[in-house]
């Protein structure tokens, strides 16, 4: 009975650890022929003085009414609302990653550094490279996962070496 309990513990550890190593979302590459209002962007880190993102490729479609009211409107950066991957409440989620963002220009906002910038409502986003689910963990759950990973694996290896057995015999 003791070996079944250990097998169950190892299985739970592998599933728990493996789940957080899966991709957050399937990566998607930016294409020049993408839908309108689909951009490749990266986050800026000078909040609240500057816009949330810098637009690297693609263009926002700004309604004519906003163009007339704000002729000096910047088109190379934007503030984000909606389903943004750069949520402030998350942990250090994707600091230096590029993202493909789709949505629409909702209104105009103001920043101290850039002046008038579009406010982009994000409806859908995709990373451009692999990002593990681990990066969306926050504070205590992140700490628990790291403890699980850094203490659980050495303990399991120690047990197997102490027993003088291999993983093949275990399973």
In this predicted model, what pLDDT tens digit does every residue of 97-131 receive, in sequence order?
Answer: 788 999 999 999 988 888 899 999 999 888 888 87
pLDDT over 80 at 61, yes or no: yes
Count of beta carbons in the 10 Å neighbourhood of residue 85: 23
**pLDDT tens for each residue of 148-157:** 777 777 777 7
Looking at residue 150, its pLDDT comes to 79
**pLDDT tens for each residue of 67-86:** 888 888 888 899 888 888 77
Q: Which residue do the tokens 């230096």 mark? A: 96
Q: E strands along the chain, which residues?
A: 38-43, 53-57, 77-82, 98-111, 115-127
Structure tokens at 114: 């850039």
Structure confidence at residue 30 as a pLDDT band (50, 70, 90):
confident
pTM: 0.72
């Amino acid at each position: 009975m003791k070996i079944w309990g250990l097998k169950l513990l190892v299985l739970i550890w592998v599933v728990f650890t493996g789940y957080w190593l899966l991709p957050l979302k399937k990566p998607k590459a930016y294409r020049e022929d993408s839908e309108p209002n689909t951009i490749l962007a990266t986050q800026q880190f000078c909040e609240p003085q500057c816009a949330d993102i810098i637009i690297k490729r693609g263009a926002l479609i700004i309604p004519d009414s906003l163009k007339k009211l704000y002729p000096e409107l910047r088109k190379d950066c934007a503030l984000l609302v909606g389903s943004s991957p750069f949520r402030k409440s998350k942990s250090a989620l994707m600091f230096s990653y590029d993202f493909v963002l789709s949505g629409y220009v909702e209104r105009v906002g103001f920043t101290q550094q850039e002046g008038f910038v579009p406010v982009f409502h994000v409806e859908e986003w995709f990373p451009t490279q692999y990002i593990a689910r681990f990066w969306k963990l926050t504070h205590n759950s992140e700490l628990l996962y790291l403890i699980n990973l850094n203490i659980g694996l050495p303990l399991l290896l120690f047990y197997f070496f102490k027993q003088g057995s291999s993983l093949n015999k275990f399973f």
